[in-house]
Structure 1
Amino acid sequence: MASIKDDLFREIRHTVLSLVFSVEGLQEIEPGALNFSLLDLEIVSGLSGKSGNNKITDFSPKVFDGIRMIKRLLVSGHNFTHLPPDLFSNTEFLDVQLDMNHLEELPDGFLRSSPNLTELSLYGNRLKYISNKTFEGLTSLSRLYLFRNQITEIPPLTFYETSLSELYIFGNNITSITKEALRTRNCTLQSIHLYYNCLSIIEEGAFDCTADGGCKVYYSKNCLSETPHFPAYVRM
C-alpha cells in the first residue's frame, strides 16, 4: 500500500487511542485520511525494529486537517527533507518525535499552535540551522533533543519563549556559544549537553541565564583552549 486514502477511516467518528501504520511501502497519507481525534499516532519505518518498510518522502500540508489534538506524534526514520510551513498549524501536539529523518530545515514557528507541547525530538536529522523563531510559541517546551545534526550556531534568544529544563545539542558543528544563546524567559535550564561539538569560544556570561537552583553543563570533547567561566550554581 503506497498511500493511505482519504476514505479509509470514513466510518470512524470517535477518538482513537492509538494508531500505528506499519504497512509495507507506505509513502503518502492523503489529506483528510485522519479526520478524527487521535491520542497517539506512530508511522513505523524500516529503522524501527518492527515490521514494515515505510519511507515517507513528503507530507501533504493538509494531512492533519480536521484533527484537533494528537497527544503524541512519532514519525522517525523516514526520507522527508522538509516540513510544509503550515503542516501543524491546525492541530495541537503535546509530544512530537521527528528523529532520524532527513530534515534539512525547520519552518519558523512550525509548532506555534502547540503551546502545551512539552517534548520535541529532532535528533539524527540533517539540520544545519535553527533561528530565534524556530521554537516560537512553545512556552511549555521543557525537553529538546537536537543532537547529531549539523547545526553550526545557536542564534541569540533561540529558546527564549520556551521553558527548557533539558537541552541535548551534542554531536553538532557549533563553534561558539554567545551570551544570549541559551537564555529562556525564566532562566529554566537545568541540564545542557554540548559535548562533541566544535566549540572554541564560550562567551563570558553564557551560562548566567541557567536555573539558579543548579544547572549541569556537559561540554567535553570540544576545541576550547581554556575553561569557560561558570556561575557558582553551575556544575560540570
Structure 2
Amino acid sequence: MRSACLSLLLVSVCWALPFRQSGFLDFMMEDEPGSGDVDMGGPPVIDEPRRGPAGPGADPVPTGPVCPFRCQCHLRVVQCSDLGLKSIPEDINADTTLLDLQNNKITEIKENDLKGLKALQTLILVNNQITTIHAKALAPLGKLQRLYLSKNQLSEVPANMPKSLQELRIHENQISKLKKASFAGMANMIVMELGSNPLAAGGVEAGVFSDLKRVSYIRISDTDISAIPKGLPASLSELHLDGNKITKVTKEGLKGLKNLAKLGLSYNQISSVENGTLGMVPHLREIHLDNNELTTVPPGLPEHKYIQVIYLHSNKIAVVGTEDFCPPGYNTKKAMYSGISLFSNPVPYWEVQPITFRCVFDRSAIQLGNYRKK
C-alpha cells in the first residue's frame, strides 16, 4: 500500500509546472504578452515581431538630443572648450542654457551663429581670437544673463546686447573707448569687468553708465584713464580703478556714491585727496590708496564713521599726526579700524604716538615697518 502511494506522488510531481523565481517588478508584466506566464486554459500566446515604419505616413523613429561633434553635453549644458574650433558649432540644442566655447580659435561671431538659442543664459567665449561680433548676433538671446568675452581682440563693446544681461566680463581686449551708447538700456546689469583694455585718458565718455540702475560692481583697471569716470551709478557697492593714471581724488569724482563700500585706487599716480571727498561716500568700509604719490594721510578719516580698512603703504607720507585717523574723543567711531598699512613710507615709525591709533580694534591691525629707499 505504501509503495502504491509513493508511485502516485512521483507521477503528480512530474506533471507539475517547473518552478520559476519571481523577479522584482515582475508584477508589472503580468498582463503583457510574452511575459512568461502560461495560460492553461488555451493555446500559448506568441509574440508577433515588431514592424518598422510601413510607409510615408508612419511615425518617425524617436531620436535623442543632438550634441555637436567632439563636444560634451549633459542636460542643458554644452561644453566645447579647448577643441581648436574656428567657428561656433552647428546643431546646438535649442534648450541649451550654458554654452562653453572658451580656449578655442574663433575669430568671428556671425549673424546666425546663435540663432535659435532662446533659452541660453550663459555664454562663455573667453580666450579666443574674436575681432568682430555681428550687430544682430546677440539679439536672439533674450534670456542671456552672463556673457564672458575676456581675452579676445574686440575693439568695441558688442552692439545690441540682450537687455536681460546681468554680468559682462570683457577685460583684456582692444577696446579704446567706452561710448555713451555702449550700455544703453542695460538696466539689469549687476557686474561689469572692463579692465586691461587700452582706454586712453579720456576713453570713458560722460554718461556711459547712466542706464545701469542696478550695477553693484565695476572694475576698470590697468588702463590709461587719468580721472575717476563721471556719472558712476549710485547703486555701486564696489569700484576698482587700480593700475591707472589717476592723479587726484575729488569730491566730484565720488559724488552720489552713497552705497559705495569698497574703493580700489592702488597703483595710480594720486598725489592728493580733496577735502570733503570721503564725505561723498558715507558708507565706505575699505579704501586702497597704496602705491601712489601721497605725501599726507587723506583728510576726513577722523569724521568718517565706517571706514575699517585703509591701505596707504608705498607712498611718500613723511608725518602721521595724532588725529589723522581717529576722532578726538573715544568711542565716537561706529566701526573700529581692522587694518591700517603705512609701511614703505618715509615716516619715522618710532615718532608715531600710540594714541594715534586709539580707534583701532587691535594693535596687530597696524602695519608700519621700516622705510627703505629704492
SS at match of 2:212: coil
Could you tell me the percent identity over the aligned residues? Answer: 24
SS at match of 2:133: coil
5+ unaligned residues in a row in structure 2: which ranges? 1-84, 311-374
After superposition, give the CA deviation of every residue in 1:181-211 in whole Å (9 maximum; x if it has no partner). 12336x1101101111011232212221214
CA contact (8 A) 1:130 1:154 kept: no
CA contact (8 A) 1:31 1:65 kept: no
What's 2:292 paired with?
Answer: 222
Query: Could you tell me which amino acid in structure 2 is paired with residue 39 of structure 1?
Result: Q
What's 1:51 paired with?
Answer: none
Query: Could you tell me which amino acid in structure 2 is paired with residue 169 of structure 1?
Result: L
Q: Which one has the largest radius of gyration?
A: 2
Distance (Å, rounded) in 2 between the aligned partners of 1:93 and 1:127? 23
5+ unaligned residues in a row in structure 1: which ranges? 46-53
Query: Could you tell me which amino acid in structure 1 is paired with residue 285 of structure 2?
Result: C
Task: Say if 2:98 is the partner of 1:18.
Answer: yes
Aligned counterpart for 2:246 among listed residues 164, 171, 174: 174
What's 1:67 paired with?
Answer: 141
What's 1:58 paired with?
Answer: 132
Distance (Å, rounded) in 1 between the aligned partners of 2:260 and 2:103? 40
Distance (Å, rounded) in 2 between the aligned partners of 1:199 and 1:163? 25
Task: Say if 2:123 is the partner of 1:41.
Answer: yes
Task: Say if 2:173 is the partner of 1:101.
Answer: yes
After superposition, give the CA deviation of every residue in 1:105-133 in whole Å (9 maximum; x if it has no partner). 11214223221211111122212222331
Distance (Å, rounded) in 1 between the aligned partners of 2:294 and 2:131? 39
CA contact (8 A) 1:116 1:138 kept: yes
What's 2:228 paired with?
Answer: 154
Distance (Å, rounded) in 2 between the aligned partners of 1:59 and 1:207? 41
Segment drifting more, 70-79 vs 56-65: 56-65
* 1:23 CA displacement: 7.2
Task: Say if 2:200 is the partner of 1:118.
Answer: no
What's 1:163 paired with?
Answer: 235
After superposition, give the CA deviation of every residue in 1:48-74 in whole Å (9 maximum; x if it has no partner). xxxxxx210122222211221311111
Segment drifting more, 201-210 vs 191-200: 201-210
* 1:28 CA displacement: 0.6
Query: Could you tell me which amino acid in structure 1 is paired with residue 112 of structure 2?
Result: G
Normalised to the residue count of structure 1, the TM-score between the two structures is 0.83
Aligned residues: 218
After superposition, give the CA deviation of every residue in 1:11-65 in whole Å (9 maximum; x if it has no partner). 7443x210012474210111132132211100131xxxxxxxx210122222211
The alignment yields a C-alpha RMSD, in angstroms, of 2.1
Query: Could you tell me which amino acid in structure 2 is paired with residue 92 of structure 1?
Result: S
**Higher relative contact order (CA closer than 8 Å, sequence separation 6+):** 1
Structure with greater helix share of residues: 2
Structure with greater strand share of residues: 1
What's 1:188 paired with?
Answer: 259
SS at match of 2:136: coil
Normalised to the residue count of structure 2, the TM-score between the two structures is 0.54
Distance (Å, rounded) in 1 between the aligned partners of 2:239 and 2:171? 15
